Amino acid sequence: MASGHAAYMSSNAASTVSSPSRTIRIGSRKSQLALVQTYWVQEQLQKCFPDRTFEVQTMSTQGDKILDVALAKIGEKDLFTKELEVAMLNHEIDFAVHSLKDLPTRLPEGLVLGAVTEREDPADALVVRSQHRDKQIDTLEAGAVVGTSSLRRLAQLRHHFPHLTFKDIRGNLNTRLQKLDAGEYDAIVLAVAGLQRLGMSDRIHQVLPAEISLHAVGQGALGIECRADDTEVLSLIQAIQHAPTRDRTLAERAFLRALEGGCQVPIGVNTQLHEDQLTLTGLVASVDGKKLVKDTVTGNATEAEKLGIELAERLRQQGAQEILAEIFAEIQRG
């Protein structure tokens, strides 16, 4: 299996699990959300394998340390994964738990995406200051300041609501909410899944429909990354593999990879799975929101990756590559 792509291991990747004497070390970022997600994975695996020992090891990534620069301007695709991947390759940890949206579609040689967990709601959420509780995204007053660190959200919201003012926002989820409540912003846009996992569903003021904001590739799902040759770990993590989410995110990641877009470019997706039919919608937009191309493909879920590549080609024919080239050039200019 080529580890350079976002490879997924099938349920028969390994037929046996070796001696329970080995302690399985799980790598995680130190952020509150990352730890909640990682401890959930640890708990699920412990339930499935009560005779095994799973321990969590934490570390900070470059994306956690650089908080005064917009993510897109840093320019690297592995901001939240590199340190964990180095630790895996050095056998310091056995696998890492990622928000799948943060995991690049091309992985380092020797590593694979071994399992994907069941997806939470992948949509974006509008969170507002208390005085705007009577508003929705389309009724915020002209000039209202909306915070987001995502070019994908920024491009789509600028396209639909050019009368609003958009301002970059960094920091963990609690920090962003504090900045909102302190009055630095009138509203901010966050992932529904993150708020739900941290027990903050009450802060979700409006779930943005796909017509307004297509979500990030992999958003709402957790990706378990491990060494390609570690058959024991690959076998263990199949216990939390969720096949429908795997198929949906495989299509999304193939779409992103085919467009050669990183996590910090205005590319949005939406996938629906009905029985064995997978429908993938994708979008590429300019950062100012003035240029936007969007299309949809449908096919059998067993050909998820092929569908993603097909959609990328359709959008290329509609000008997606030119839009992305302009964005990359602007990022490089700083």
> Domain spanning 1-117+220-241 has what CATH number?
3.40.190.10
* pLDDT, tens only, 275-301: 999 999 999 999 999 999 999 999 999
Per DSSP, 314 falls in state H
237: amino acid identity, one letter:
I
- pLDDT, tens digit, 9 for 90 and up, residues 231-282: 999 999 999 999 999 999 999 999 999 997 665 689 999 999 999 999 999 9
Common-topology check for domains 1-117+220-241 and 243-334:
no
> What is the CATH code of the structural domain delimited by 243-334?
3.30.160.40
* Contact partners, residue 286, CB within 8 Å, separation at least 6: 155, 266, 292, 323, 326, 327
pLDDT of residue 59: 87
User: In whole angstroms, what is the distance from residue 63 CA to residue 44 CA?
Assistant: 27
**Cβ atoms 244, 15 nearer than 8 A:** no
pLDDT above 50 (res 22): yes
Contact in structure between 158 and 179 (CB atoms under 8 Å): no
Any catalytic annotation for residue 102? yes
324 pLDDT higher than 70: yes
Question: CB–CB of 114/13 below 8 Å?
Answer: yes
- In whole angstroms, give the CA distance from residue 209 to residue 123: 7
Among 79, 80, 71, smallest CA distance to 37 is for 80
Give one DSSP letter per residue of 215-282, joined into a string: BPTTTT-EEEEEETT-HHHHHHHGGG--HHHHHHHHHHHHHHHHTT--TTSSEEEEEEEETTEEEEEE
Q: Which residues pair with 165 in a beta bridge?
A: 145
Confidence of residue 81 (pLDDT cuts 50, 70, 90): confident
* Confidence (pTM): 0.87
Fold category of 124-207 in CATH:
D-Maltodextrin-Binding Protein; domain 2 (3.40.190)
pLDDT tens, 164-188? 999 999 888 889 999 999 999 999 9
> Which residues, including other chains, have CB under 8 Å from residue 316's CB and lie 6 or more apart?
259
Tens of pLDDT along 139-150? 999 999 999 989
**Which of 102, 124, 247, 295 does the annotation list as catalytic?**
102
Q: Tell whether the model's pLDDT for residue 227 goes beyond 90.
A: yes
| Domain ranges for the chain | 1-117+220-241, 124-207, 243-334
Q: Please give the pLDDT value at position 78.
A: 52
Q: How do strand 95-99 and strand 145-147 relate by DSSP bridges?
A: unpaired
